[in-house]
Amino acid sequence: MKVRCDLHIHSCLSPCGDLEMSPNAIAQEAKKRGLDVIALTDHNTALNTPAFMTACNKAGIFGIYGIEITSSEEAHVLALFKKPETAVEMGKLVYKSLLSGKNDPEKWGDQVYLDDDENIIGEVEKYLTGGASIYSISELLEMTLKRDGIFIPAHIDKPQFSIKSQLGFLPDEEYSAIGLTKLPPIMELKGKPFITNSDAHYLHNIGDRSFTLDIEDLSFSHIKEAIVRGKITIN
């Protein structure tokens, strides 16, 4: 079975995400664009993942529940999980450790999370992209794999908030895969598989970059296995 995936999408909870990026709108747009598997990965919190699960089920698309975490090195990494409860629990640890001040919605954007009916049920106080967590890349990797998650350094070839910009080299760790924005890779990947994702902040960007997996069955465990084994085709 071949499935098309985009595992890096932001909702209205990320201050840089458009307010139209509700979990329901994301799932519906992804379905329209021919995606089979999508992940919600807001900055340093996962509070929109419960509503995202409902939205994906309604749209008939496979949802993965994640976070884009700012490591202590100020590099962005993706932690992806099977269940929203796991993502929310991990997100609480990350948010508590986040070294940033209070968000200013007029300056940086709203940070709202929704219920299944798209009602706003809360707003996050800390500025989600304004500082790093206390956890290193290595520690975040361990925390993610301990929870049976998928760990992917995000957009490592970007000029900021990436492994390239912050470290200049890829530490040799047991990453599930590496996230790229351009091909061919501009860094030595040390034999790790790589994927491309949209990093969408607006509906019209969902699926702009994607990849296809060859899997035996549409389940989180088979998706994880296919990524780790490199059964990937870049679209």
- 134 φ/ψ angles, rounded to the nearest 5 degrees: -85, -5
Distance CA 136, CA 16 (A): 23
Q: Which domain holds residue 7?
A: 2-234
Residue 78 near residue 68, CB atoms below 8 Å:
yes
Distance CA 192, CA 210 (A): 18
* pLDDT, tens digit, 9 for 90 and up, residues 12-61: 999 988 889 999 999 999 999 999 999 999 999 999 999 999 999 999 99
* pLDDT, tens digit, 9 for 90 and up, residues 98-108: 999 999 998 99
First to last CA, the chain: 16
* pLDDT, tens digit, 9 for 90 and up, residues 152-167: 999 999 999 999 999 9
Distance CA 212, CA 220 (A): 15
The residues with which 195 forms a beta bridge, in sequence order, are: 179
Residue 201 above 90 pLDDT? yes
Give me the number of domains the chain comprises: 1
Distance CA 126, CA 70 (A): 14
- 49 φ/ψ angles, rounded to the nearest 5 degrees: -70, -35
CATH of the domain at 230: 3.20.20.140
